[in-house]
Amino acid sequence: MLFRRYAAIREVGQALTAVATGQARVIECALEPGTAPDGSRFDAFTEVRWQTSYAYLAMLQAGAIAQERWLREQGLWTPRRDLVTQVAARHSRVAAEATTAGADQIEQAAVWARELLDRHWALVLRFADLLDRRGHLYGSHLRRALREGAQRPVSST
């Protein structure tokens, strides 16, 4: 299903960016609906322990950046789908604005996230496929893949 892959791209984009910063530890990514403590509903989640606010900001930016890129690469981008991406990123924007970071720092984190996604895009696509099929991934898989490099195939077992 298209929406499931779209959600997987967001979650893996955030998770892989967090790991690639070297300043965060991903516990798990999952395509699993639920309700957050604040009552908001979600279709997926990524559990991360970050060491710096800059890594946190980069991770928050990465989901929407990854989704927009994927939509464009698949020839699926439309203004309406872009609006959906922006609405879905609302929680991330609110979280970024709730930090003590200024607009310049948030923008710099977005640039960093884009650079990390560009560098590891092949892994984002592979792991999004894996997350879509399995429904969950562990951070150890992402860390190992980054250590070993994008050249080695990712096992689906």
Chain position carrying tokens 């203004």: 79
pLDDT in tens, the chain (157 residues): 788 999 999 999 999 999 999 999 999 999 988 776 677 777 888 999 989 999 999 999 999 999 999 999 999 999 988 888 887 788 788 888 889 899 999 999 999 999 999 999 999 999 999 999 999 999 998 888 888 874 444 333 3
pTM: 0.86
pLDDT of 37: 67
pLDDT of 131: 95
pLDDT of 5: 93
Pairing assessment for the beta strands 45-50 and 41-42 based on DSSP bridges:
unpaired
pLDDT of 153: 40
Q: In the structure encoding, which two tokens stand for residue 2, read together?
A: 């298209």
**Which secondary-structure segment (H or E) carries 108?**
helix 103-119
Crossing angle for the helix pair 2-21 and 121-134, nearest 10 degrees?
130
